[in-house]
Amino acid sequence: MQSNRIFIKETPHHIGKKIVVKGWVRNRRNHGKIIFIDLIDKDDIPLQVVFTPGIKEYYELASKLRGEDVIKIEGLIKERPSGMQNDKIPTGKIELESETIELLNKSRESLPIPIDNDGYDINEELRLKNRYLDLRRQRLHKNIKLRHAILHFIRNYLSDREFLEIETPILTKSTPEGARDYVVPSRLQQGKFYALPQSPQQYKQLLMVAGFERYFQIARCFRDEDTRGDRQPEFTQLDLELSFVEREDVMKLVEDLLIDIVKKITPEKTIQEIPFPRLTHKEVISKYKTENPDLRKDKTNPNLLAFCWITDFPFFEKNKEGEWTFTHNPFSTPIPQHREWLLKKDKINEIITSQYDVVLNGFEIGGGSIRSHTKESLEAVFEILGHNKESIKEKFGHMLDSFTVGAPPHGGIAWGLDRLVAILTNEPNIREVIAFPKTGDARDPMMGSPSEIDKKQLKELGIKTDK
Ligand code: ASP
């Protein structure tokens, strides 16, 4: 596959040997007749390459190299003269004496954005327009690699504990997660629309009905919200669900997983308090005036992580119109002592939901609950929310029906993975840990999306637009 090419990180094991490396030129320095370049590949470790005026053709090529040219070099790995060694990098004791060089692709003279710095000061539109280049900067390489390490760890951790990773549909039906849906027109059923999932909530519950008992998914979720701070129209959740569990079981699993991620992937970080402190919604509001308190004792320390759990939220609250709405998730069940109240639609304002949120350094990074698993319970929720029997049947008939064929008690949680990764990489913004994020107003300046579509496409879909 790679023929004889080796990665630069392997070069220190090849002293005295002839090797082939491929990668990008990071900078060129001419010292009299000798030319030095730093070559990097996917691991961002610079290899010092030395060119001497031996073969004219190669030497001339080397003298014209500039940053981001893509080259292949064959040569001899040698130990650097003592005094020229650099202990700070893994390749600091060696250099490559070039014998042949091949230019695989020339980079343009001036790059649209610099990539030899952290990039924070560059205009975001420009960064996102040139994202393939922006992503080449070392800081973003590091973030994306750390993100991968976390996903890899989670997949192994949960698979080892008998969870199955199961994909759920992207083309689906509107579900009430509290935000506006992204919709997709149907060509075959004109005038009808799919909705992109705000979360896999209903599908994961249906997987519990289907008897899988332990599900997870690294799931893409879509919410068409107005620009609200650091939100993305599409984001990634670690979504999981288990059967035959109570609140404590899910909280324990999640807490253990979070602790292990920190220990294994970001060992430089310290968790302020284990077990994570727990606060009720009442306590947190009266003490901190927010549902997402930042409990760090020292906020100047970038390596301090203060996790906490918030529980005992009210299930329902009144909206501006004086109607009942849910505070978190309509599919939740109340805490056991209040389940009777829900069924009787009694003391609605006092019903406490089984919801648990996990907060890290002032950000909600996850939330979940134990769910309704009987028809009566879910029906009661939607009745309180003002739906009549027909509309409940129309919108959630599949859930209600599924609960009549042996639905086990179940519960779960979802985390915002982008936020967790941003905190663990000390990034102020989730856009720094997503390979191809959108702007604050939901555009992708590189692809130019959203965009208009052909008249022909519109016609096929049976859609007329005002514009
Ligand atoms: N589906 C919920 C959400 O996206 C999370 C959960 O309760 O599992 O907020």
Per-residue pLDDT tens digits for 129-164: 999 999 999 999 999 999 999 999 999 999 999 999
355 lines ligand 1 (CB under 6 A): no
Residue 236 CA, ligand 1 centroid: distance in Å: 12
Among the ranges given (218-232, 363-377, 395-409), the one the predictor scored with the smallest mean pLDDT: 218-232
201 lines ligand 1 (CB under 6 A): yes
Task: Band the pLDDT of 46: cuts 50, 70, 90.
Answer: very high
Q: What mean pLDDT do residues 89-95 have?
A: 97
Residue 177: what pLDDT? Answer: 60
Residue 446: what pLDDT? Answer: 98
Residue 142 CA, ligand 1 centroid: distance in Å: 29
71 lines ligand 1 (CB under 6 A): no
More confident of the two residues 231 and 372:
372
More confident of the two residues 179 and 366:
366
Residue 385 CA, ligand 1 centroid: distance in Å: 18
> Does the pLDDT at position 166 exceed 60?
yes
Closest ligand 1 atom to 241 CA: 8
Residue 225 CA, ligand 1 centroid: distance in Å: 16
- Dist. CA 112–CA 128, nearest whole Å: 11
Residue 71: what pLDDT? Answer: 98
Residue 323 CA, ligand 1 centroid: distance in Å: 23
Share of the chain above pLDDT 90, in %: 93
- Please report the DSSP string for 270-323 in residue order: EES-SSPPEEEHHHHHHHHSSSS----S-TT-TTEE-EEEEE--BSEEE-TTS-
Tell which residue, 420, 344, 326, 408, has the closest CA to residue 370: 408
Residue 397: what pLDDT? Answer: 95
> Does the pLDDT at position 349 exceed 90?
yes
Closest ligand 1 atom to 328 CA: 9
Domains located in the chain, CATH noted: 8-105 (2.40.50.140), 131-313+355-373+408-433 (3.30.930.10)
Residue 226: what pLDDT? Answer: 79
Beta carbons of 370 and 411 less than 8 angstroms apart: yes
| Best residue among 201, 206, 357 to mutate for probing ligand 1, ranked by most atoms within 8 Å of CB | 201
The tens digit of pLDDT for each residue in 193-248 reads 999 999 999 999 999 999 999 999 999 999 998 766 678 999 999 999 999 999 99
Residue 171 CA, ligand 1 centroid: distance in Å: 18
Beta carbons of 336 and 298 less than 8 angstroms apart: no
Residue 176: what pLDDT? Answer: 63
- Please report the DSSP string for 180-202 in residue order: PPPEEE-SSSTT-EEE--S-SHH
Share of the chain above pLDDT 70, in %: 98
In this structure, the number of other CB atoms found within 10 A of the CB of residue 187 comes to: 12
> Does the pLDDT at position 168 exceed 70?
yes
pTM of the predicted structure, to 2 decimals:
0.95
| Best residue among 237, 243, 326, 354 to mutate for probing ligand 1, ranked by most atoms within 8 Å of CB | 237
Residue 227: what pLDDT? Answer: 66
* Closest residue to atom 7 of ligand 1, CA basis: 368
Tell which residue, 194, 201, 203, has the closest CA to residue 178: 201
The tens digit of pLDDT for each residue in 432-456 reads 999 999 998 999 999 999 999 999 9
Start-to-end CA span in the chain (Å): 51
Residue 230: what pLDDT? Answer: 79
> Does the pLDDT at position 329 exceed 60?
yes
Closest ligand 1 atom to 412 CA: 8
333 lines ligand 1 (CB under 6 A): no
Q: What mean pLDDT do residues 265-287 have?
A: 98
Residue 354 CA, ligand 1 centroid: distance in Å: 13
Residue 89 CA, ligand 1 centroid: distance in Å: 44
> What integer best gives the mean pLDDT of the chain?
95
